Structure 1
Amino acid sequence: MSPGAARRNLLPRCALVLAALLLPLAAHARKSDRDQPMDIDAGHQEGSLDERAPTVLSQGVVITQGTLHIQSDRAEIHLRDGEIRRAVLTGRPVQLRQEMDDGQPMHARARTVDYDLVTDIVTLTGDAYIEQPRGTMAGQRIVYNMATGHIESGGQNAGRVQMRINPRNRQGGD
C-alpha cells in the first residue's frame, strides 16, 4: 500500500476513535428530573405568573428540580400555555449541577444560560465550562441538546474550544 493510501485509510479510523472518546462528554441529563417539582428560592420576584410578561427572579436565585441544582444572580422565566417554556439565567457565573442518566455528575458554569424547555437545548455563553468525570469542555459558547446529547461549541464569533478527555481508567484529575 502506498504511503498516501495508508494515510487516507488512517483518517477515517482516527475520526472514529475521536468520536468514541467524545461520546462520554455527551451524556444525557436525568430525564426523570423533569417529572419532579421545581423549587425556586430568590430574594426578589417581579412579574406575573401567567403569559403576559416573564417572571423575573433576582437577588440570589436557587432552583432545584430532582438532581438539577442551579444558582444564579437573575432568572427570567417565560410561560406559555401554563408551562415554563424558557428560562434565561445570568450570573457571575451561573452554576449548574445535575446527575446524568448514567449516574455520573455534571457541573457547568457560564455568565448566561438560556434553557429552551420546548427543544431541550441549553446555550451557555460567556466563559462557559462543562465538567464531567470523563472530561471537560470550555469556550465562549456551548450549545447542548439534552435530548440527543449533541454538543456544538466555538465557531467564527464564539472563539476557540478547549477540551480534555480523560482516559477511561482515570476519571477526573490532571
Structure 2
Amino acid sequence: MACNFRAAMPPRLLPPLLLALAALAAHAEKGDRAQPMVFTADKEGRLDGVNQRTELLGNVIITQGSLMLRAEKVDVRETRDGYHLAHATGLPGKPVSFRQARDLPGEAIAGVADQLEYDTKTETVRFIGNANVRRTRGAAVAEEVTGAVIVYNSRTEVFTLEGGSASPNPNGRTRIVMMPRAQPGDAPASAPAPLPLQPSTTLTPPRKSS
C-alpha cells in the first residue's frame, strides 16, 4: 500500500500537518449509488419540501445499500441537481459512525468522529473531531488513520488527514497504522500444542485384614 505525502508547498504555507494516504485499487461499493437513501430516527423529524431539507433527531440511522451512518442529529439538504449534503453530529461518548463496503469482497471502510459531513455528489466523507477511520479486511484491521479531521474520497480511495487540538493523538498529531500483509510462503500461525493426555490410574482399595 502506497503512502503519498503532500508536501510540495513550503512548510510555512502548509496547514497543520496535511498528508494523503492512497489506498488499493478498489473503490467503495458502486452498487450503493443506485440504492434508495433510507432515514430512521427515534425522536422528532422535519421535512421541508420547499427548501429540500430533512432534519432528524434521536438515534438517527441513514442507509443506502451497504452504507450506514449513525448519529444523534442529522441535517440533510438536497441540491438542485439531486444530490445530498448531510451534516451529522453525535453526543459525548457516542460519536457519529460511518461504514461502507468496498468493491473488494470482505473489505469495508468504517470510521467515527464527533461530527461528519457526507457529500453524495463528490462521494466524500469528512470526519471532524477525534476522527478515527479504519479499512477492514474481514474482522481484521488492515489500516487505521486518526487525526483532528479526516476526509475520505471513496472514488479515489484517498484519505487526507489534518492534525490539531481536536486530534485524539498526543500533541494534536496525525497517526497512520499499516498492518503487514501476509506474504506467499509464510507459514500460518501454529496452534498451541495440546496438553498431553495420560490414562487415569485405577487405585485398588487395600484389603481388610481378617
Q: TM-score, normalised by structure 1?
A: 0.76
Shift of 1:156: 6.3
Shift of 1:146: 1.6
Q: Which structure has more strand as a fraction of its residues?
A: 1
3-state SS of the aligned residue for 1:101? coil
Asked if residue 111 in structure 1 is aligned to residue 114 in structure 2, the reply is yes
Closer/same/farther in 2, CA of residues 26 and 166 from structure 1, 3 Å limit: farther
Distance across 2 between alignment mates of 1:62 and 1:99: 16
Q: Deviations over 1:39-88 (max 9, x none)?
A: 211122114134x2632111110111111111110110001237242011
Structure 2 unaligned regions, length at least 5: 5-20, 137-141, 167-171, 184-210
Q: Deviations over 1:3-41 (max 9, x none)?
A: xxxxxxxxxxxxx9645xx54478521121011122211
Shift of 1:97: 1.3
Closer/same/farther in 2, CA of residues 26 and 115 from structure 1, 3 Å limit: farther
Closer/same/farther in 2, CA of residues 65 and 28 from structure 1, 3 Å limit: same
Between 138-147 and 76-85, report the one with greater CA deviation: 76-85
Asked if residue 154 in structure 1 is aligned to residue 157 in structure 2, the reply is no
Asked if residue 140 in structure 1 is aligned to residue 134 in structure 2, the reply is no
1:10 corresponds in structure 2 to: none
The residue identity in structure 2 corresponding to 1:46 is: R
Distance across 2 between alignment mates of 1:33 and 1:83: 16
The residue identity in structure 1 corresponding to 2:125 is: V
Distance across 2 between alignment mates of 1:26 and 1:156: 30
3-state SS of the aligned residue for 1:119? coil
Pairwise CA RMSD of aligned residues?
2.5
Distance across 1 between alignment mates of 2:149 and 2:25: 16
Task: After TM superposition, list the pairs within 5 Å mapping 1:39-78 onto structure 2.
Answer: 39-43=38-42, 44-50=44-50, 52=51, 54-78=53-77
Shift of 1:131: 1.2
Q: Is the CA contact 1:28–1:101 (under 8 Å) kept in the aligned structure 2?
A: yes
Q: TM-score, normalised by structure 2?
A: 0.64
Q: Deviations over 1:130-161 (max 9, x none)?
A: 11132100111001112111221125676321
Asked if residue 102 in structure 1 is aligned to residue 101 in structure 2, the reply is no
Q: Is the CA contact 2:147–2:164 (under 8 Å) kept in the aligned structure 1?
A: no
Distance across 1 between alignment mates of 2:82 and 2:2: 41
Distance across 2 between alignment mates of 1:102 and 1:17: 17
Q: Is the CA contact 2:2–2:23 (under 8 Å) kept in the aligned structure 1?
A: no
Between 154-163 and 112-121, report the one with greater CA deviation: 154-163
Q: Is the CA contact 2:59–2:72 (under 8 Å) kept in the aligned structure 1?
A: yes
Asked if residue 128 in structure 1 is aligned to residue 141 in structure 2, the reply is no
Distance across 1 between alignment mates of 2:95 and 2:25: 22
Distance across 2 between alignment mates of 1:17 and 1:137: 14
Q: Which structure has more helix as a fraction of its residues?
A: 1
